[in-house]
Structure 1
Amino acid sequence: MNPENTESPESDEPSEALLAIRAKSILTLGGEGPARAARLFAPLKKIDNGVLLVRDGLVEDVLPWSQAKLPAGTLVRDVGAVCLAPACVNAHTHLELSHLAEKTRWGRGFTAWLQSLIPLLGAAPQADAVESACATLALYGTLYVGNITGSLPGGTVLADAACNEAGLTASHFCEWFGFGAPFADGERPWPPRCRQALADDPFLMARCAPGGHALYSTGPEILSAARQDCSRMGRVFSFHLAESPEETQLLTSGSGPLRDLYAGVVLPPDWSAPGLRPLAYAVKLG
């Protein structure tokens, strides 16, 4: 393939700012689904000697070069012996906790990890750690992040600014933790650590959605209110689901290490287990 070669198979139909980007191979991710076990290492489907058709900044099609019927006047850019792929998406990250990297306990189960994390949550977020995390994400090809926020005061504003600086597009999921619903009827269910920041910046609010922490750590009325708000506003609803065997044990039997950790601290005195596995309980709550 020759980057200087811009000849293309043409049709007589006029072009409306059509750009054809030709590459040695293209990963479309079309038709790919969730992978498990050995399929995690299976090669992704690709198009060799492919072309990506872009009009007004949006991808129209991707197909083999031999099948392309390009309108007269199409701008063809041959990028040579490279592989084109969609940008990476980190759908769930906690940017404001970036300064805690390598400070928690691994390899001893979920509850042991939580026990090592909770005492570290008293410190304020660190700008340099968040900025470094965003720069690293961008360096490795990430373009879009779903940032779970609300753990630390000021974390949402800090994470959003760091994403902008690194060229990342961010959606922020403002995470509720705890029981009881400290918001009035008709009031949008923003968590306390996000509410004032969003009230001060409507443009930031437009990139945020209320979310939950988990079925065992967020009151069902809060989860329902947040879910309904997301549905009404056309936003994605986010929460942690079925993270660990300890969560399943807590929700089905009301016992186990998570109950011991959260009893009297997060779980209210009258809390009782729903007697359902996490997915079934989430479905019951709607």
Structure 2
Amino acid sequence: MRPPPTPRAVRAARALTMVPGDAPLDDAALILAGRRILDVGPARRVLAGFHGPVDDLGDVVLVPGLVNAHAHLELSHLRGQAPPPAGFCAWAGWLFAAARDTAPPDVLAAAVAEVAGTGTAAVIDVAGRAGAAVARALRAAGLSGLVCREILGRRAGVSLDLPPQLADAAGDGVAATVCGHALYSTAPELLRRARAVCREHGTPFSLHLAEHAGEMELFTTGRGEFAAMLAGRLLPKGWQPPGRSPVAEAAAQGLLGPDTLAVHVVSLAPGDLDILARSEVTACLCPRSNVRIGVGVADAPALAAAGVRLALGTDSLASNDDLNLWNEARALFTAHPELPGRAVLEALTVNPARLLGRDDLGRLAPGSVGGWAVLPADLAQRLA
């Protein structure tokens, strides 16, 4: 058994605890053992009588370690290989051919180190074949998170049990569960079963939803380039469109609720905002991935105004340049400069932590295990 880490302290000009009701802390200090926070508050009180090492960071703002709400770390070997933005079909066609293998251990370890090194403390990762390797890499880096075995296909009776290797690899703050891929690629019965399994595990249910206009066209009319691409591959013979938006179809299939992480939600129909808000889903936005693929970006201000809880994710290095969540915040402000800074900071911290059921993440508070991150200077004016 390893000895417990020696407590150390961090001091900074300001801290945003993200604890409801807490005001910003000026001249703040934290005492930590590893990533676990033992105390937080005004430096004068916290450091009184503390005799361990103190790292004075100077004129910076501390925030909780971030939570990346959507990643595919097993695709990290595809960094820099995606084609120029040309729409979802072009990108998906490339990915089908490129993703025959998963990231080797050294590439996966480097990707996780990048995640940790840019202020992220936890990841909700969607995995196909390398879930166990991802879980081990997260644990080795001291990160928390959830690794989701992605369910695809139309065989309603397929087992949704976790692979033994993935179940064995979980632990130390890294949980494992299942998730759906998308409405067009996973049978409705499988999606409902997957959500039920997530409830048994006490984990959120993640689903790619309304990512692009072709998905909207598929479900409303059954026509278009995307429909032609899926015919004979993922859509069963005789499949008929439900004649409603993907969001409305997900609601009709019983897939939306407070436990649902709806990833992307770029292409929405009138009424979809109300469905998402009434369902109390968390919407995970991946703005740089959406732009890189060429599908537009989600209407974050409209989602926030409707009362939809937001989270942010990097998606994979098959559709993004890096795994730095701060760059997602920058992209969001570029697309929507009117978006309130508090909403973005909540999307990076407390919202995904709440979805995970982890009150020990997303906050600077005693007992939190997410450590801290330094708010980049160029974002401080917007977020602090």
| TM-score, length basis structure 1 | 0.72
Change (3 A) 1:203 1:168: closer
Name the CA distance, whole Å, in 2 between partners of 1:234 and 1:101: 33
Residues 80 and 265 of structure 1: CA distance in aligned 2, closer, same or farther (over 3 Å): closer
1:93 matched to which residue of 2? Answer: 71
Aligned: 1:165 with 2:146 = no
Which SS does the other structure have where 2:163 is aligned?
helix
Assess if the C-alpha contact under 8 Å between 1:178 and 1:267 holds in 2.
Answer: no
Q: Normalized against structure 2, the TM-score is what?
A: 0.55
Q: Residue in 1 aligned with 2:202?
A: 234
Structure 2 Cα separation of the partners of residues 160 and 78 of structure 1: 31
Shift in alpha-carbon separation, 1:27–1:106, aligned structure 2, 3 A: farther
**Residue 154 of structure 2 corresponds to residue 179 of structure 1:** yes
> What are the superposed Cα offsets for residues 33-91 of structure 1, whole Å, 9 maximum, x if unpaired?
xxxxxxxxxxxx95433455889x557775x679x7x8x97889683524321112211
Residue matched to 2:13: 24
Tell me how far apart the structure 2 counterparts of residues 28 and 236 of structure 1 sit (CA, whole Å). Answer: 24
Match of 1:4 in 2: none
Equivalent residues of 2:170, 2:176 under 8 A apart: no
1:79 counterpart residue number: 56
Q: Answer yes or no: is the 8 Å Cα contact 2:10–2:57 preserved in 1.
A: no
CA distance, structure 1, for counterparts of residue 181 and residue 18 of structure 2? 30
Q: Which runs of 5+ in 2 are unaligned?
A: 1-7, 255-384
Shift of 1:121: 2.1
Alpha-carbon distance in 2 for matches of 1:267, 1:95: 27
Q: Distance in 2 between matches of 1:261 and 1:99?
A: 25
For residues 126-182 of structure 1, the C-alpha deviation after alignment (integer angstroms, 9 at most, x for no partner) is 2222111111111112211111001x3xx1122122222322223101111111223
- SS of residue paired to 1:89: strand
Write the distance in 1 (CA, Å) between the matches of 2:49 and 2:110. 43
Deviation, 1:238, is: 0.7
Which secondary structure does the structure 2 equivalent of 1:240 belong to? strand
RMSD of equivalent CA atoms: 3.2
Correspondence 1:266 to 2:224:
no
**Aligned partner of residue 228 in structure 1, secondary structure:** helix
Distance 1:118 1:25, change over 3 A: same
C-alpha spacing 1:78/1:107, structure 2 compared with 1 (3 Å): closer
Contact residue 179 and residue 218 of structure 1 kept, 8 A: yes
Q: Return the index of the structure with the highest Cα Rg.
A: 1
Residues 27, 47 of structure 1: 8 Å contact kept: yes
User: SS where residue 239 of structure 1 aligns?
Assistant: strand
Instruction: Give the corresponding residue for 2:83.
Output: 105
Q: Residues 166 and 52 of structure 1: is their aligned pair in 2 closer, same or farther, counting only changes over 3 Å?
A: closer
Q: 1:219: which partner in 2? A: 187
Partner of 1:210, secondary structure, is strand
Q: Please tell me the residue identity of whatever aligns with 2:100.
A: G
Summarize the Cα distance change of 1:127–1:142 in structure 2 as closer, same or farther, 3 Å threshold.
Answer: same
Contact kept? 2:12, 2:56, Cα under 8 Å:
yes
Q: Percent identity?
A: 35
Aligned residues of 1:20 and 1:75 also touching (Cα < 8 A): no
* 1:210 aligns to 2:181 (yes or no): no
Q: 1:114 to 1:75 in 2, by over 3 A?
A: same
**1:207 to partner: Cα distance:** 1.5
Residue 127 (structure 2) pairs with residue 127 (structure 1): no
SS in 2 for 1:216: coil
* Alpha-carbon distance, 1:225 to partner: 0.4
Q: Following the alignment from structure 1 to structure 2, what is the Cα–Cα distance between the partners of residues 95 and 20?
A: 32
Q: Note the C-alpha offset of 1:284.
A: 1.2
Change (3 A) 1:49 1:125: closer
SS in 2 for 1:238: strand
Q: 1:126 to 1:60 in 2, by over 3 A?
A: same
Q: CA deviation digits over 1:93-138, x for unaligned, max 9?
A: 1111111112222311111110111111222432222111111111
Partner of 1:116: 94
